[in-house]
């Protein structure tokens, strides 16, 4: 008996060592440890042994069985690892080939700039108000202190629906509506489409976009106007941006100003975009004219405010270096996808 | 407004670097558009006098000249033929540079020395605009119109050592439309004193009433009218210095009389006119409204018909000028004019503007009257003109002036509170500085606590306290106002719900691959036919613009579909084979036309796609948007609409409200837009979508019990819709059906004609327990029975 066990032990070890596949390994396991396996059968024959021999042989047989089982497991593990490595080596790909991109769309550049500007002002406590594009002449001109004969009212500058209704030429009428609706403190920005009778060319369009703003409260000063708009400019164009305020004239503000920023393309050195001056005119602004406040039922002796306005299309064109305004409204996919 | 600096310096003594000047003027309110530095590129070109001209012995076409340039006499050879002995000409010396960069050197021409070059206007870089008429630009030598010191730098002679600054004048400051006005601004800006020009007139000959009588019948349109007479007039060219200044300011010299009137206009801002007195019938000037249909031939030889609101200057019988706009042809100054009536007047600005528009005639004069002129300048200007007449020896000034000025203009007196100034500006300007600034602008200021300010007559734009504050701020310097953030009441900033939803939808559509478009709000009335609208479609009732730029921009759009089709057509025809677009903007609707009150401007979402896509791609995009906004109770049902393919049209309903249509565009419509490929469009009411959105998200617990999937395939008639089948499955399955997915539709050899096989995957799950086979089978059979009964479905094995 003992020799037979020894034989099984040595033979099985040799066979396991020489195995080449998991299937072979399984065959070996069955051969020795299966239902009809050699070791199994040998163990059945243990009844023929003497009572003194049985425990010794039994123990020995168990040892061998454990040995074979362990060896089989180890070998199985090694085979598996070998297979894996083989597979990994063969699964080689060319990572420089193009990726499979999901087609993304995006917002129109005008929306992008609008959102950027809106966010800057939201961060300063402003909310956004919208208003009608087909407006009453009263709100577009009279309430904004334009004289009855102001040239802007001409048919050659403004689109009319009837004598009293027109397509708004600025978003300021909505500032007036806001002041009528709401008592100070007021901090709003007023974006939207505006219309002027200009033939379309590289820098003009009969329909374009503005964003205006209004602040009304007690103790608002021109220093506030400068401070707020300077912060705006720095947020839009970077901390190193400087601002310059020049006197100007608007019927609805007094004093009035135009604000220039250092050209973001050249940092103020002078380039094509800023026509070599180093500055770009960004917006018009001023302290709200007392007549405008009074017309809305706000007492100019108690309250003061400032207003400002900028052309969104122009700011977008400067920001993205778009040279022709018409591209904004042609909506060629090759243009839109650049933003 | 073009201002030559040398002229400006006559009135304000400044010695300031041009860049500093430009910056300071811009910062005090007179914005500089451009600066022209004349003669920058001209070097060593001087005045010479031709002493002798002979033909070149070796070349018939060349002339050999001897030219005296002061220090020496040079021999110069030229090919020009228009020179004569004693002509004064520009001579480019050896070593000189022409504006175009050419360097002139001495050399030999056909064997003879030439020590320089005689110059044509073109070679000097002059343009026809800056020369009197008739001068040959290219082939002829520029014969100087006067005698000059020999050897003088041509830059000085041509007035080239000067700079011309172009100012942008805002329309509230007509007082700056003059050299004196700019001088005043410069004096205030730099703290200098003004020097007003002389208006001394010595003429004591005769008396004006012997020559003319004047009456103003319509003083409402003419607040002041002044006339002086010049006799023994000698019409000739005005001197070089005056011509030079006029040209630099953008006005062409004509003759001494006309030039004087233009010079005074540029100098003082007051337009003037000169009439040939002999052409005035009855020796009368009457200022009156024209008679209806009265005619006049103006200076430009055009006959014009006037209406009875237009003011004219007339003699005893006829109109001789349109007031403030243009004089008449028959009373124009001619070479043999002997006696002149000079007019200096102010006309009602609104009336001039209206008349100017009616006649389609806009002149230097009318553009100034339109803005409103200072009535007090009238006298200064006419005396100045007379002074110049004497200076130029153009005639003799007759004593006296007829000045019809019924209502004297009073200077406006205002109050100014100094602390209000600092309150509004956020500054700390002392009262003394406030006074100083206002006085530098010729305001008179008295008082200490509350200031009394007298406004000069040329500042009609200053009417309220805030106007004074602006004057102070701009001269004090906007750059000296500190910048201060607001520390007043805290307001809450942010977007409202609809605005938030709009941004969510934009982000969602971008993630799905769509590009946002911006298209025009106004369209052509022909779009309705182009998108196949029936004649009685209510959306044809569009708001009309009464003065559009063109027919194709004459109505406000009631649907964005035409704009989207245009975008797609453009892209397709530029060889862009596929794209997906959307736009979120307005349509303009009116209850009734003509519009009496505001229109209903409805936010609309339009989606348009083409390329390797079909209806279900469009539907999928919309379904994703619905999911983003948590709108679950929506349905897409078959529908019909003229713009769409009859078998491929649907409407979107949310809570049974129709939000809009979606589908494949009708081939006829595609034809109208030149689009040879299928296009899918959805146009939806965004206002309603926003109302139906639900931004409240509440977490739903994850499923506790496992689900079982069962597939079925049923054969139904073609007309049975997926919606119907799915509704039955969900209805009968109730809470146990957690998902129903249509994964295949088969038509073919194994299925009878007119029928289709629809394969569904039904996912069963319960929230309360693990379902047993029995449970599932029971429900499953209920479903199958309902399908059979309600839509005649036959189970496919």
This complex has an ipTM of 0.85
Which DSSP category does B411 fall into?
A: P
Which are the contacts of A241, defined by CB distance < 8 A and separation ≥ 6? Answer: A233, A234, A261, A262, A264
**CB-CB under 8 Å, B514 with A223:** no
B543 touches chain A (CB under 8 A): yes
Cβ contact B520:B562 at 8 Å: no
At B663, is the secondary structure helix, strand, or coil? strand
**CB-CB under 8 Å, B470 with A256:** yes
Kindly state the average pLDDT of the residues B142-166: 84
**CB-CB under 8 Å, A226 with B488:** no
Cβ contact B232:B52 at 8 Å: no
Give contacts of B 355-374 with A, CB under 8 A.
Answer: 357
In Å, the largest CA–CA distance within chain B is 131
Neighbours of A61 (CB within 10 A): 21
H or E element: which one contains B262?
helix B256-268
H or E element: which one contains B651?
strand B644-654
Kindly state the average pLDDT of the residues B736-749: 91
> Which residues of chain B make contact with A220, given a CB cutoff of 8 A?
486, 488
pLDDT at position A273: 82
pLDDT band at B383 (very low <50, low <70, confident <90, very high): very high
Give me the half-sphere count of Cα atoms (radius 13 Å) on the Cβ side of residue B208. Answer: 19
Sign of CA dihedral B350, B355, B356, B358: positive
Q: For residue range B417-443, what is the model confidence (pLDDT) as tens digits?
A: 999 999 999 999 999 999 999 999 999
DSSP string, B26-78: HHTT-EEEEEEETTTT-EEEEEEEEEEEEEETTEEEEEEEEEE-SS-EEEEEE
> Which residues of chain B make contact with A247, given a CB cutoff of 8 A?
27-29, 470, 473-474, 478
> Which residues of chain B make contact with A336, given a CB cutoff of 8 A?
515-517
- CA-nearest of B79, B70, B41, B72 to B147 is B70
Cα(B561)–Cα(B343) distance, integer angstroms: 62
Q: For residue range B98-127, what is the model confidence (pLDDT) as tens digits?
A: 877 788 898 888 888 999 999 888 888 776
- CA-nearest of B285, B342, B271 to B313 is B285
- CA-nearest of B233, B230, B248, B81 to B159 is B248
pLDDT at position A45: 78
- CA-nearest of B30, B23, B165, B17 to B441 is B30
pTM equals 0.82
Q: pLDDT tens for chain A, 339 residues: list them.
A: 778 888 888 888 888 888 888 888 888 888 888 888 888 888 887 777 788 888 888 888 888 888 888 988 999 999 999 989 999 999 988 989 998 988 899 999 999 999 999 999 999 999 999 999 999 999 999 999 988 878 788 877 899 999 999 999 999 999 999 999 999 999 999 999 999 999 999 999 999 999 999 999 999 999 999 999 999 999 999 899 999 999 999 999 999 999 999 988 888 888 888 888 899 999 999 999 999 999 999 999 999 999 999 999 999 998 898 999 999 999 999 999 999
Return the higher-pLDDT residue of B695 and B473: B473
At B325, is the secondary structure helix, strand, or coil? coil
pLDDT band at B489 (very low <50, low <70, confident <90, very high): low
Neighbours of B510 (CB within 10 A): 16
pLDDT at position B535: 94
**CB-CB under 8 Å, A161 with B544:** yes
Task: Say if residue B51 is preceded by a cis peptide, omega within 30 of 0.
Answer: no
Give contacts of B 546-565 with A, CB under 8 A.
Answer: 546-549, 553, 556
Indicate the residue of A105, A162, A291 with minimum beta-carbon distance to B513. Answer: A105
Which DSSP category does A222 fall into?
A: H
Cβ contact B229:B398 at 8 Å: yes
Kindly state the average pLDDT of the residues B358-364: 91
Taking CA–CA distances from A106, the nearest residue in chain B reads B510
pLDDT at position B517: 97
**CB-CB under 8 Å, A165 with B576:** no
pLDDT band at B134 (very low <50, low <70, confident <90, very high): low
> Which residues of chain B make contact with A304, given a CB cutoff of 8 A?
423-424
Phi, psi torsion values for B521, nearest 5 degrees: -75, -25
- CA-nearest of B796, B723, B732 to B764 is B732
Cα(B664)–Cα(B615) distance, integer angstroms: 7
Q: Is the confidence at residue B129, as pLDDT, over 70?
A: no
Q: For residue range B709-741, what is the model confidence (pLDDT) as tens digits?
A: 999 999 999 999 998 999 999 989 888 999 999
pLDDT at position B133: 61
pLDDT band at B605 (very low <50, low <70, confident <90, very high): very high
Outline where chain A has alpha helix (H): 2-17, 22-33, 38-44, 53-90, 109-122, 137-140, 172-181, 222-237, 290-295, 312-320, 326-330, 333-336
pLDDT at position B137: 65
- CA-nearest of A3, A1, A59, A64 to A32 is A64
Say how many Å lie between the first and final Cα of chain B, rounded.
Answer: 92
Length of chain A: 339
pLDDT at position B136: 65
Cα(A307)–Cα(A144) distance, integer angstroms: 12
> Which residues of chain B make contact with A249, given a CB cutoff of 8 A?
170-173
The separation between CA A306 and the C-alpha centre of its own chain, rounded to angstroms, equals: 32
In Å, the largest CA–CA distance within chain A is 133
DSSP string, A262-304: E-TTTTTS--TTTTTSSEEEEEEEEEEPHHHHHHTT--TTT-E
Q: For residue range B684-693, what is the model confidence (pLDDT) as tens digits?
A: 999 999 999 9
Percent of chain B with pLDDT over 90: 73
B580 touches chain A (CB under 8 A): yes
**CB-CB under 8 Å, A134 with B599:** yes
pLDDT at position B138: 65
Which are the contacts of A41, defined by CB distance < 8 A and separation ≥ 6? Answer: none
**CB-CB under 8 Å, A329 with B486:** no
At B188, is the secondary structure helix, strand, or coil? helix
């Amino acid at each position: 008996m003992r020799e037979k066990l020894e034989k099984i032990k040595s033979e099985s070890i040799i066979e396991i060592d020489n195995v080449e596949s998991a299937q072979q390994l399984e065959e070996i396991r069955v051969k020795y440890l299966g239902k009809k396996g050699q070791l199994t059968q040998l163990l059945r024959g243990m009844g023929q042994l003497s009572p003194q021999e049985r425990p010794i042989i039994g123990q020995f047989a168990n040892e061998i069985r454990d040995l074979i089982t362990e060896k089989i497991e180890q070998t199985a593990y090694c085979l598996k690892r070998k297979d894996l490595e083989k597979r990994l080596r063969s699964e080689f790909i060319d990572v420089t080939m193009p990726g499979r991109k999901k087609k993304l769309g995006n917002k129109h550049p005008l929306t992008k700039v609008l959102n950027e500007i809106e966010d800057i002002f939201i961060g300063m406590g402003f909310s956004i108000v919208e208003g009608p594009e087909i407006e009453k002449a009263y709100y577009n001109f009279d309430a904004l202190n334009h004289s009855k004969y102001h040239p802007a009212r001409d048919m050659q500058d403004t689109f009319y629906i009837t004598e009293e209704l027109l397509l708004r030429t600025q978003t300021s009428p909505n500032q007036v509506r806001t002041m009528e609706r709401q008592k100070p403190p007021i901090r709003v920005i007023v974006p939207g489409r505006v219309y002027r009778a200009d033939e379309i060319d590289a820098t003009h369009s009969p329909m374009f976009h503005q964003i205006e703003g209004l602040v009304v409260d007690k103790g608002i000063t021109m220093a506030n106007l400068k401070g707020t708009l300077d912060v705006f400019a720095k947020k839009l164009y970077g901390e190193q941006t400087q601002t310059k305020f020049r006197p100007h004239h608007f019927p609805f503000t007094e004093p009035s100003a135009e604000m220039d920023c250092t050209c973001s393309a050249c940092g103020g050195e002078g380039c094509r975009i800023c026509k070599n001056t180093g500055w770009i005119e960004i917006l018009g602004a001023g302290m709200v004219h007392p007549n405008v406040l009074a017309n809305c039922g706000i007492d100019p002796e108690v309250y003061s405010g400032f207003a400002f306005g900028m052309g969104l299309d122009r700011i977008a064109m400067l920001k993205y270096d778009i040279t022709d305004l018409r591209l904004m409204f042609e909506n060629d996919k090759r243009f839109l996808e650049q933003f | 407004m073009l201002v030559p600096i040398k002229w400006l310096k006559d009135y304000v003594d400044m010695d300031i670097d041009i860049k500093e000047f430009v910056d300071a003027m811009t910062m005090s309110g007179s914005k500089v558009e451009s600066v022209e530095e004349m003669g920058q590129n001209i070097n060593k070109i001087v005045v010479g006098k031709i002493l002798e001209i002979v033909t070149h012995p070796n070349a018939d076409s060349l002339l050999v000249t001897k030219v005296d340039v002061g220090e020496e006499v040079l021999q110069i050879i030229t090919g020009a033929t228009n020179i004569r002995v004693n002509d004064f000409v520009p001579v480019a010396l050896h070593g000189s540079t022409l504006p175009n960069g050419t360097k002139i050197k001495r050399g030999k021409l056909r064997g003879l020395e030439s020590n320089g070059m005689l110059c044509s206007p073109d070679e000097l870089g002059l343009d026809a605009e800056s020369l009197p008429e008739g001068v040959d630009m290219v082939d002829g030598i520029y014969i100087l119109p006067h005698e000059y010191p020999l050897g003088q730098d041509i830059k000085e002679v041509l007035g080239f050592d000067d700079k011309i600054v172009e100012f942008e004048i805002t329309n509230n400051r007509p007082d700056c439309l003059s050299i004196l006005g700019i001088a005043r601004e410069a004096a205030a800006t730099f703290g200098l004193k003004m020097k007003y020009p002389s208006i001394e007139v010595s003429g004591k000959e005769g008396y004006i009433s012997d020559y003319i009588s004047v009456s103003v019948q319509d003083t409402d349109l003419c607040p002041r009218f002044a006339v002086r007479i010049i006799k023994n007039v000698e019409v000739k060219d005005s001197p070089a210095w005056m011509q030079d200044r006029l040209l630099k300011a953008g006005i062409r010299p004509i003759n001494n009389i006309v030039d004087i009137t233009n010079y005074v206009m540029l100098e003082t801002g007051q337009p003037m006119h000169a009439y040939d007195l002999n052409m005035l019938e009855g020796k009368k000037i009457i200022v009156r409204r024209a008679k209806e249909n009265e005619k006049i031939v103006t200076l430009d030889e055009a006959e014009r018909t006037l209406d009875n609101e237009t003011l004219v200057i007339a003699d005893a019988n006829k109109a001789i000028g349109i007031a403030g706009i243009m004089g008449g042809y028959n009373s124009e100054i001619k070479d043999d004019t002997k006696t002149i009536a000079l007019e200096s007047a102010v006309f009602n600005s609104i009336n001039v503007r209206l008349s100017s528009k009616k006649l389609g005639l806009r002149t230097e004069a009318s553009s100034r009257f339109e803005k409103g002129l200072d009535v007090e300048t009238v006298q200064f200007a006419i005396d100045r003109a007379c002074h110049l007449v004497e200076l130029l020896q153009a005639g003799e000034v007759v004593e006296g002036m007829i000045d019809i000025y019924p209502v004297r203009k009073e200077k406006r007196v205002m109050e100014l509170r100094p602390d209000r100034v600092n309150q509004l500006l956020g500054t700390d300007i002392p009262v003394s500085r406030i006074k100083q600034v206002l006085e530098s602008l010729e305001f008179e200021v008295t008082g200490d606590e509350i200031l009394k300010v007298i406004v000069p007559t040329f500042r009609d734009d200053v009417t309220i306290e805030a106007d004074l504050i602006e004057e102070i701020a701009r001269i004090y310097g906007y750059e000296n106002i500190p910048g201060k953030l607001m520390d007043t009441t805290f307001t809450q900033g942010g977007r409202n719900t609809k605005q938030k939803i709009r941004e969510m939808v934009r982000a969602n559509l971008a993630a799905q691959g769509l590009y946002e478009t911006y298209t025009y709000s106004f369209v052509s009335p022909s779009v309705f036919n182009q998108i196949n609208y029936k004649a009685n479609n209510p959306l044809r009732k569009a708001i009309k613009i009464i003065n559009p730029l063109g027919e194709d921009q004459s109505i406000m759009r009631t649907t964005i579909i035409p704009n989207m089709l245009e975008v797609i057509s453009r892209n397709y025809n530029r060889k862009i084979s596929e794209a997906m677009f959307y736009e979120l903007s307005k349509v303009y609707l009116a209850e009734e036309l003509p519009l009496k009150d505001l229109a209903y401007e409805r936010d609309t979402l339009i989606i348009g796609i083409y390329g390797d896509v079909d209806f279900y791609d469009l539907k999928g995009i919309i379904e994703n948007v619905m999911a983003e906004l948590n709108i679950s109770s929506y349905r897409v049902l078959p529908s019909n609409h003229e713009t769409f393919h009859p078998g491929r049209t649907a409407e979107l309903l949310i809570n049974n409200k129709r939000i809009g249509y979606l589908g494949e565009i009708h081939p006829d419509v595609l034809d109208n837009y030149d689009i040879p490929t299928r296009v899918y469009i959805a146009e939806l009411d965004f206002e309603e979508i926003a109302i139906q959105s639900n931004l409240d998200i509440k977490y739903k617990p994850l499923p506790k019990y496992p689900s079982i999937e069962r597939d079925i395939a049923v054969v139904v008639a073609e007309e049975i819709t997926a919606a119907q089948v799915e509704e039955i499955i969900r209805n009968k399955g109730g809470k146990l059906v957690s998902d129903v997915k249509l994964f295949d539709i088969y038509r073919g050899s194994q299925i009878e004609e007119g029928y289709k096989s629809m394969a569904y995957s039904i996912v069963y799950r319960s929230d309360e327990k693990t379902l047993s086979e029995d449970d599932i089978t029971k429900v499953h059979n209920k479903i199958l029975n309902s399908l059979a009964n309600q839509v005649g479905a036959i189970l496919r094995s």
